[in-house]
Amino acid sequence: MPLPYEWQMRLQRWKSLFSGLFGGGERRPQLCPSCGALVGINATRCHECGTNLRFGLAAWSKGLSELFGGHAPVTTAIVILNVIAFAAELMGTFHAGGGGGLSILWGMDGETLYRLGASEGRSVFYLHQWYRLVTAMFLHGGLIHIGFNMMILMDLGPIVEEVYGSARYLFAYVLMGVVSFFFSALTGHLSVGASGAILGIVGMLIALTTKRGGAMMREMRSRLISWVVTIFLIGFVFRSLQTDNVAHLGGLAAGFVIGKIYADRLPASGPERQRAYWLGWIGGLAIAVSFAVALLNYRTVLP
């Protein structure tokens, strides 16, 4: 049975990407990923800005963006990473004898979550396991938890990514998640979930609506604020849901500040785009290193 058209196009992009990395594939004129200038078929550096078209930061950023495809590649990659992390949680939970019946909907094994990198105050501040501030935003407490968060992320994430660019969006997402779990860790309890970073996205959108005038922006801001108020009220009223309002507040505040700082447009060509690429790679490296450290510490003795 032939693959769906979307997957055929994605496989073609992957083939072109990897063949290009190793010097093969079809050769044709290209655009410089840094300044946007048209460069020749055999060019290895841009004649306008000098960017390396094969192994430079801009070239690899463009290649990774094409790998995931679509207009929101970072949002797609974040969702995939969340699903992979949830699969690891499931395997750990099943191994611990849990996950039976409907408990998969809301109950993951606490020890497994801790070993995979859940945020916990004593481990962060006294054992200096700072990686937990990053890994915790990709872990979830059950199928309902991850399903609800990913649904909202796929709805709001592409909007922010399209406004600010994928690289700056990735850096902001990681930073907002770190800030949210830093404040959560101050309370001392075990906490996981993408909702802190997602509230950060909402904060960025609220900041965006304060920069742009018009009735549509005012209406959007009003709806976002109403949604935020509802989320916090649910957390306060229904304590049994174990909603981490401290993490939500930290992420929301961080997102609003970042939204005020960021220029509400795609990075301009040249140095500004290079700085954006650096921010994106810092965010991606933080995720990779944090999960690597979490895996190295997975079988250590629990405190």
Residues 4-51 pLDDT 10s: 555 555 555 555 544 444 344 444 556 555 555 555 556 666 655 655
Residues 151-168 pLDDT 10s: 999 989 999 998 999 999
Contacts of 299 (CB under 8 A, 6+ apart): 115
Query: How far apart are the C-alpha atoms of 54 and 185, rounded to whole Å?
Result: 42
pLDDT of residue 26: 45
β-bridge mates for residue 191, sequence order: 119
- Residue from 195, 222, 226, 240 carrying the catalytic annotation: 195
CA atoms within 13 A on the CB side of 18: 7
For the chain, the farthest-separated pair of C-alpha atoms sits apart, in whole angstroms, at 64
Higher pLDDT, 198 or 220: 198
pLDDT band at 200 (very low <50, low <70, confident <90, very high): very high
Phi, psi of 52 (to 5 degrees): -70, 125
Measured in whole angstroms, the distance separating CA 261 from the mean position of its chain's CA atoms is 19
**Where exactly are the structural domains of the chain?**
5-16+27-68, 73-296
Query: How far apart are the C-alpha atoms of 248 and 202, rounded to whole Å?
Result: 10
Higher pLDDT, 27 or 128: 128
**Is 195 marked active-site?**
yes
CA dihedral over 217, 166, 296, 126, signed as positive or negative: negative
CATH 3.90.70.10, domain 73-296, yes or no: no
In this structure, the number of other CB atoms found within 10 A of the CB of residue 89 comes to 26
- Residue from 61, 140, 191, 248 carrying the catalytic annotation: 248
Check: CB of residue 123 under 8 Å from CB of residue 172. no
Residues 66-94 pLDDT 10s: 545 567 889 989 999 999 999 999 999 88
Check: CB of residue 231 under 8 Å from CB of residue 248. yes
In this structure, the number of other CB atoms found within 10 A of the CB of residue 72 comes to 21
**Is 65 marked active-site?**
no
pTM of the predicted model as reported, rounded to 2 decimal places: 0.79
Check: CB of residue 191 under 8 Å from CB of residue 108. no
Q: At what angle do helices 143-164 and 73-95 cross, to 10 degrees?
A: 160
CA dihedral over 50, 54, 59, 61, signed as positive or negative: negative
